[in-house]
Amino acid sequence: MNIKSIASASCLLLLAVGVATAQSAAPVVSPTTVGSVAAQMALARQIVLHGSPQGAHACATCHGEQGQGQIKAAFPHLAGLPKGYLVRQLQHFDVLARDNPSMQAIAHKLTSTQIDALATYFSQQVPPPIMPPATPPPALGTELALQGRDAVPACITCHGPGGRGLGGALSAAFPPIAGQPAAYIERQLRAWKQGQRPPGPGWPDGRHRQAPQR
């Protein structure tokens, strides 16, 4: 993860606290060995719609059935994000390396097989269209995104032109961020400053706190 403009758009994986209703009605898919993509998708869809047998809430409640997210609620879209990135974030929540009590509780109730299946499922969904902002972004946000400032590199260096990602091996560490709720991006930047998220690859501890204090 690298530093992004507070004016950029993104969202917090803050899965809901009160969603446990339809879990008992879920069809059973074995969580043991899920080899084929089709089997992974079936297992993931069960969890997305009904939650996991261990008690994890249904992903669809906050992120939508196809991972479209909720802009107004600042729930990030998961659709189309790199599989490696999604796996890593759920693992961080599971071991409490990334702070978010709701997501920590959910990740802790997922097996590694279920995490892999969910990451496969969401990575293959179509991301929502990127809507232009209602008002032009602040000049500082544009500067940080395109040029960087105060020893902080430009966001596009790692997240790609327009925040649409670079693809390839780097995508697990540096995902596309375009189209995510601005409130989510801001919350993540503050989490890095406060040590509530692990620094990204190549970022020594403390470097992520050098973003301008605005």
**3-state class percentages of the chain: helix first, strand second, coil last, to nearest 5:** 40, 0, 55
Query: CB neighbours (10 Å) of residue 42?
Result: 16
Q: Which of 93, 106, 107 is nearest to 196 (CA)?
A: 93
147-150, long-range: CB < 8 A, 24+ apart: 149/212, 150/210, 150/211, 150/212
- Residue 125 C-beta-side C-alpha neighbours within 13 Å: 26
- pLDDT for the residue numbered 201: 53
Which backbone phi and psi does 75 adopt, to 5 degrees?
-90, 125
3-class DSSP assignment, residue 60: helix
Q: What is the mean pLDDT of the chain?
A: 82
Q: Mind listing the pLDDT tens digit for each residue in 109-122?
A: 999 999 999 999 99
Cα radius of gyration (the chain): 17
pLDDT at 210: 42
The three-state secondary structure class of 20 is coil
Residue 180 is given by DSSP the state S
Q: Which residues pair with 149 in a beta bridge?
A: 152
| CATH superfamily name and code, 21-123 | Cytochrome c-like domain (1.10.760.10)
**Cβ partners under 8 Å of residue 158, min gap 6:** 2, 166, 170, 173, 174, 200
Q: Which residue has the higher pLDDT, 202 or 75?
A: 75
Q: Where are the domains of the chain?
A: 21-123
- Residue for token pair 């869809």: 45
User: Is pLDDT of 151 > 90?
Assistant: no
